[in-house]
Amino acid sequence: MSALDQAARQAHTSRSALLCQAVKHYLDALEQEPQKEKRRQAAARTDRFREKFGGWDGTAEVLRWRDRH
C-alpha cells in the first residue's frame, strides 16, 4: 500500500481516486483492443491489396476519374 499511497501523493489525489483512474484506464484499454485488432486486420488487407496490384497510385486514379466526370 505504501507505493499506492506514494503514487497518490505524487498525483495530488486520494488513493481511491487514483484507483478509480487506474481501473478506468484499464477498462478503456480493454474496450479498445477489439478496435485495434480490426485496424490491424484492415492494414493487413491493404498490404495484401498493395502486393497484388503493385505500384497503383490511388490518388492519381481518383484525380483522373474526377477529370472525366
What pLDDT does 44 receive? 96
Q: How many CA atoms are closer than 13 Å to the CA of 44, on its beta-carbon side?
A: 6
pLDDT digits (tens, 9 = 90+) for 2-47: 999 999 999 999 999 999 999 999 999 999 999 999 999 999 999 9
Residue type, 24: K
Report the C-alpha gap between 38 and 43 in whole angstroms.
9
What pLDDT does 69 receive? 75
What pLDDT does 20 receive? 96
Backbone angles phi, psi at 17, to 5 degrees: -65, -40
- Residue spans per domain, the chain: 2-68
pLDDT digits (tens, 9 = 90+) for 58-68: 899 899 999 88
**∠ Cα 60 63 47 (to 5°):** 40
* Contacts (Cβ under 8 Å, ≥6 apart) of 4: 15, 18, 19
